[in-house]
Amino acid sequence: MNACIIAVGSEMLTPFRVDTNSLFVTEHLNTIGVDVRMKAVVGDDVAELTALVRGALEWADVIVMTGGLGPTEDDITRDAVARVLGVSMSENEAVVSRIRERFAKRGITMPEINRRQGMVPDGATLVENPNGTAPGLWIEHGRTAMVLLPGPPREMKPMFEAIVRDRLASRSGGEGLFRRVIKITGRTESDVDATVQPIYGPWQSQDVPISTTILAVLGQIELHLTARAADRVAAGRALDAAVGELQGALGEAIYSVDGLGLEAVVGQALRDRGLTIATAESCTGGLLSSRLTDIPGSSAYMQQGVVCYSNESKTSWLGIPAALIEEYGAVSEPVAKAMAAGIRAKTSADVGVGITGIAGPGGGTPEKPVGTVAIAVSAAGDERVRTFQFFGGRELVKFQSSQAALNMLRLLLGYPRS
Residue nearer to ligand ATP on the CB measure, 150 or 342: 150
Q: Burial, 9: exposed, middle or buried (Cβ in 10 Å; 0-12, 13-18, 19+)?
A: buried
Residue nearer to ligand ATP on the CB measure, 10 or 195: 10
Residue nearer to ligand ATP on the CB measure, 47 or 194: 47
Residue nearer to ligand ATP on the CB measure, 11 or 383: 11
- Report which residue type is found at 220: Q
C-beta of 74: minimal distance to ligand ATP in Å? 8
What CA–CA distance (Å, rounded) separates 154 from 161?
12
C-beta of 57: minimal distance to ligand ATP in Å? 20
What CA–CA distance (Å, rounded) separates 135 from 125?
10
C-beta of 224: minimal distance to ligand ATP in Å? 22
Return contacts of 284-291, CB within 8 angstroms, 24+ apart. 284/355, 284/357, 284/359, 284/398, 284/401, 284/402, 284/405, 285/309, 285/398, 287/398, 287/399, 287/401, 287/402, 288/353, 288/355, 288/401, 288/402, 288/405, 288/406, 291/263, 291/402, 291/406
What CA–CA distance (Å, rounded) separates 290 from 376?
18
C-beta of 11: minimal distance to ligand ATP in Å? 6
Q: With b meaning 16 or more CB within 10 Å and e meaning fewer, what string describes 22-36?
A: bebbbebbbbbbbeb
Residue nearer to ligand ATP on the CB measure, 65 or 254: 65
C-beta of 44: minimal distance to ligand ATP in Å? 8
What radius of gyration, in Å, describes the C-alpha atoms of the chain?
Answer: 28
C-beta of 240: minimal distance to ligand ATP in Å? 35
Residue nearer to ligand ATP on the CB measure, 73 or 327: 73
Residues near ligand ATP, by CB under 6 A: 7, 9, 11, 19-21, 66-70, 75, 133-134, 150-153
> Which strand (E) or helix (H) includes residue 223?
strand 220-229
C-beta of 166: minimal distance to ligand ATP in Å? 21
Residue nearer to ligand ATP on the CB measure, 18 or 322: 18
Strands 35-42, 2-8: pairing is parallel
C-beta of 17: minimal distance to ligand ATP in Å? 6
C-beta of 153: minimal distance to ligand ATP in Å? 5
Residue nearer to ligand ATP on the CB measure, 75 or 350: 75
Residue nearer to ligand ATP on the CB measure, 21 or 284: 21
Task: Tell me the β-bridge partners of 256.
Answer: 183
Cis omega (within 30 of 0) for bond into 361: yes
Work out the angle at residue 320's Cα, subtended by the Cα atoms of residues 319 and 325, and round it to the nearest 5 degrees: 155
